[in-house]
Amino acid sequence: MNKKPFVTKKQLAEIIKKYPTPFHIYDEKGIRENAKAVREAFAWNKGFKEYFAVKATPNPFLIDILRDYGCGCDCSSLTELMLSNAMGLNGEDIMFSSNETPACEYEYANQIGAIINLDDFTHIDFLEKTLGKLPETLSCRYNPGGVFTVSNGIMDNPGDAKYGFTTEQLFEGFKIMKEKGVKNFGIHAFLASNTVTNDYYPMLAKQLFKVAVKLKDETGADIKFINLSGGVGIPYTPDQTPNDIRVIGAGVKKVFEEVLVPAGMGDISLYTEMGRFMMGPYGHLVTTAIHAKHTHKEYIGCDACAVNLMRPAMYGAYHHITVMGKENAPCNHKYDVVGSLCENNDKFAIDRMLPEIENGDLLVIHDTGAHGSSMGYNYNGKLKSAELLLKEDGSVELIRRAERPADYFATLDCFDIYKKMGF
């Protein structure tokens, strides 16, 4: 089985005349179609809102596309809050879900009216001391612990995660917040990562809905929204069947009507934070094969490296690779596809069967639209690559320039050595 790039070899040949590899390129048409599908899948819930996880792809041009479909921003740091606010988002269009949060970040989130989602029981007191009083609207991240198992055997281990309130802390926290003047409550949970099954969201929703009913009964809290967070994944390998967001939406609706509606809580708004699902499949990392090494193994060296895409080095994650122009050629060569970092884990693929690769071939590394460019770093003094947008009309727009040496040395601009570098 194979994956088909959303850009052709002919298009790339024109693009690289102006923008040399490596670069990330995003598919506007795919992003729009997917955002529309998400909106339609949850249209049955009057207050539904997708808060795009900015950490996945913090590019204002892409976030602006999502805003056309009613999306807000899920932020986890000061700079993500600043980016969202600079784009004109504020108030309930921003969800601030962070952990080990400095006081200054809570202050800024409150200043722009973002919904604050607390990660820890002790942060109730910390937030009150920081702001002087608690906001009227607050959310809490819930971690029931244990192991979360989905029907097809996919599981994750919330009990080992550093995030969220325990069940006991959640109930006690709601009581305390209500006593301290909080009027509008939210619940948030993230129990499994990158699930490729239509069952995850409905199972998570049922668990959260039952907790919400119990919280209302035992604390009297007015629960306004339930945030299902992320976890809806994408098929990185070509043999996986993609999630069907419309089936997922229908599954959540079913448990909503089974649990919340009979409890008189049918007016609760549902929120999601699907960074990977919203953007992941609609990004490619395009790189050029520049060296072939024949030692104990066969290596293809690229002009991209883990600085441009860290997931394979960090997690051993699979990203499909297409050798452009050789899509129908037999995959009869075994390669490690590697970058130039002085780290042996700087590999995009290990023992991958691919067509014969020659120097100058363009490689498309799939599914880099989320947690691709955003996880970049500057080890070895490497510079992050440009980001491009393939527009619906076929034109290409630069949406983030490539880093330059002056960017790398900018934090030395208060020292004389910087001046000697000639920037």
Strand partners, 407: none
Closest CA to 211 of 249, 272, 268: 268
The sign one gets for the Cα dihedral 283, 289, 295, 297 is positive
- Residue 138's alpha-carbon distances to 27, 95, 156, 186, in angstroms, are 36, 10, 27, 6
pTM: 0.95
Record: fold of 281-412: Lyase, Ornithine Decarboxylase; Chain A, domain 1 (2.40.37)
pLDDT at 395: 97
71 among known catalytic residues: no
The one-letter amino acid at 126: F
pLDDT tens digits, the chain, 423 residues: what are they?
Answer: 689 999 999 999 999 999 999 999 999 999 999 999 999 999 999 999 999 999 999 999 999 999 999 999 999 999 999 999 999 998 999 999 999 999 999 999 999 999 999 999 999 999 999 999 999 999 999 998 877 777 656 566 777 778 899 999 999 999 999 999 999 999 999 888 889 999 999 999 999 999 999 999 999 999 999 999 999 999 999 999 999 999 999 999 999 999 999 999 999 999 999 999 999 999 999 999 999 999 999 999 999 999 999 999 999 999 999 999 999 999 999 999 999 999 999 999 999 999 999 999 999 999 999 999 999 999 999 999 999 999 999 999 999 999 999 999 988 888 887 777 766
Strand partners, 59: none
- Where exactly does CATH 2.40.37.10 map onto the chain? 281-412
The one-letter amino acid at 108: Y
pLDDT at 154: 57
User: How many CA atoms within 13 Å lie on the side-chain side of 147?
Assistant: 6
Strand partners, 347: 338
pLDDT at 148: 76
**Two structure tokens written together for 298:** 């066969």
What is d(CA 308, CA 290) in angstroms, rounded to the nearest whole number? 16
Cα 409 to chain centroid distance, Å, stands at 29
Cα 27 to chain centroid distance, Å, stands at 16
CATH number of the structural domain 28-280: 3.20.20.10
pLDDT at 422: 67
Using H for helix, E for strand and C for coil, what is the string for the chain? CCCCCCCCHHHHHHHHHHCCCCEEEEEHHHHHHHHHHHHHHCCCCCCCEEEEEHHHCCCHHHHHHHHCCCCEEEECCHHHHHHHHHCCCCHHHEEEECCCCCHHHHHHHHHCCCEEEECCCCHHHHHHHHHCCCCCEEEEEECCCCCEECCCCCEECHHHCCCCECHHHHHHHHHHHHHCCCCEEEEECCCCCCECCCCHHHHHHHHHHHHHHHHHHHHCCCEEEEECCCCECCCCCCCCCCCCHHHHHHHHHHHHHHHHCCCCCCCCEEEECCHHHHHHHHEEEEEEEEEEEECCCEEEEECCCCCCCCHHHHHCCCCCEEECCCCCCCCCEEEEEECCCCCCCCEEEEEEEECCCCCCCEEEECCCCCCCHHHCCCHHHCCCCEEEEECCCCCEEEEECCCCHHHHCHHHCCCHHHHHCCC
What is d(CA 106, CA 90) in angstroms, rounded to the nearest whole number? 14
Tokens 């509606």 correspond to what residue?
261
* Residues ≥6 apart with Cβ < 8 Å to 261: none
Which of the residues 75, 331, 342, 414 is marked catalytic?
342
What is d(CA 205, CA 267) in angstroms, rounded to the nearest whole number? 15
pLDDT at 183: 98
Tokens 């339609």 correspond to what residue?
40
pLDDT at 281: 98
First to last CA, the chain: 49
- Where exactly does CATH 3.20.20.10 map onto the chain? 28-280
pLDDT at 258: 98
Do you know the residue count of the chain?
423
Closest CA to 237 of 20, 3, 53, 59: 3
* Cα 276-278-284 angle, rounded to 5 deg: 70
